[in-house]
């Protein structure tokens, strides 16, 4: 056996060994995404909030702000509209003296829990009517006006550091950011969220469930009964309890909707 042939033979053996060593890695390459995902990773990647303070042009800042928040509001409203259509279909069935299926009753039970309601009979007309009062959209114009008002057009530290665009409070130590001007003896914090979307979801859920906003929900229900589209100007009348400023706060929201033509951003549904 010559030296050159021995060298070639040794090189061949080496290449085969290397290939066999990496074969399991190559075989698992289709599962890389599954292997690399850690259970501790968050379900949602937080949105990158524009630095609104650096936008000096007032109109550009406003449009950038509205275009940032609006898709989140519309997306969540679309989910709620699907829920509402499901309830309406069951209500129509019950109105024709037909019994809901087990899966439909389970669906209603799940919605009742989500919207913080209790009932002995999920198939009753009274319960379904009350559920529909809560399972409904918040006009985009109203959400945008409140987000701008409560977050100082996205420049507040609560928005920038805690993704809180709606001034929502919480009362557990460490649940949010302590306001610098909090009165002595007060225990509230401005709630922190994992993403802007979560903040929008909590805001809409708050208006749809909290007792203080029953008037807003009644106004919305009346518009539905009159076959009129929902609008932020009308529903703002039900937000007197949202701020300590009361009616002045409502007036300011309505002026913001008018002056920024936000009513045009509503997606009316009947």
Mean pLDDT of each 10-residue bin along the chain, 270 residues long = 43 41 30 26 58 96 97 97 98 96 96 95 95 98 98 94 89 75 72 94 97 98 96 97 96 98 80
In a domain, 34, yes or no: no
Largest Cα–Cα distance of the chain, in whole Å?
101
Look at the chain and report how many structural domains it folds into.
1
pLDDT score, position 178: 74
Q: What is the pLDDT of residues 39-48, one digit of tens each?
A: 233 334 446 8
In a domain, 37, yes or no: no
In a domain, 21, yes or no: no
Torsion of CA 219, 110, 165, 60, to 10 degrees: -80
In a domain, 233, yes or no: yes
| Domain enclosing residue 127, as ranges | 58-265
Quickly count: other Cβ atoms within 10 Å of residue 36's Cβ: 8
Quickly count: other Cβ atoms within 10 Å of residue 128's Cβ: 23
pLDDT score, position 197: 96
* Alpha carbon 188 to chain centroid, angstroms: 22
pLDDT score, position 182: 66
pLDDT score, position 5: 40
pLDDT score, position 269: 58
Give the pTM: 0.79
In a domain, 33, yes or no: no
In a domain, 225, yes or no: yes
In a domain, 75, yes or no: yes
In a domain, 175, yes or no: yes
Rg, Å, the chain Cα set = 27
Domain of 118, CATH number, reads 1.10.530.10
């Amino acid at each position: 056996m010559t030296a050159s042939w021995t060298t070639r033979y040794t090189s061949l053996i080496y290449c085969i060994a290397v290939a066999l060593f990496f074969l399991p890695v190559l075989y698992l390459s289709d599962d890389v995404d599954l292997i690399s995902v850690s259970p501790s990773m968050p379900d949602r990647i937080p949105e990158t909030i524009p630095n609104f303070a650096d936008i000096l042009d007032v109109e550009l800042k406003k449009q950038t702000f509205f275009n940032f928040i609006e898709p989140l509001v519309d997306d969540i409203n679309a989910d709620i509209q699907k829920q509402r259509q499901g309830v309406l279909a069951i209500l129509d069935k019950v109105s024709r003296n037909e019994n809901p299926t087990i899966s439909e009753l389970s669906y209603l039970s799940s919605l009742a829990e989500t919207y913080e309601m209790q009932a002995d009979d999920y198939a009753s007309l009274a319960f379904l009517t009350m559920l529909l009062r809560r399972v409904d959209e918040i006009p985009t114009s109203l959400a945008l006006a409140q987000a701008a008002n409560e977050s100082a057009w996205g420049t507040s530290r609560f928005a920038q550091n805690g993704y809180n665009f709606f001034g929502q409070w919480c009362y557990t130590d460490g649940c949010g950011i302590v306001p610098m001007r909090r009165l002595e003896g007060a225990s509230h914090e401005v709630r922190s969220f994992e993403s802007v979307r979560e903040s929008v979801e909590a805001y809409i859920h708050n208006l749809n469930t909290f007792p203080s906003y029953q008037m807003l929900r009644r106004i919305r229900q009346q518009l539905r009964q009159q076959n009129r589209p929902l609008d932020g100007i009308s529903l703002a009348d039900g937000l007197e309890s949202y701020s300590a400023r009361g009616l002045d706060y409502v007036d300011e929201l309505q002026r913001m909707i008018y002056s920024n033509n936000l009513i045009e951003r509503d997606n009316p549904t009947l």
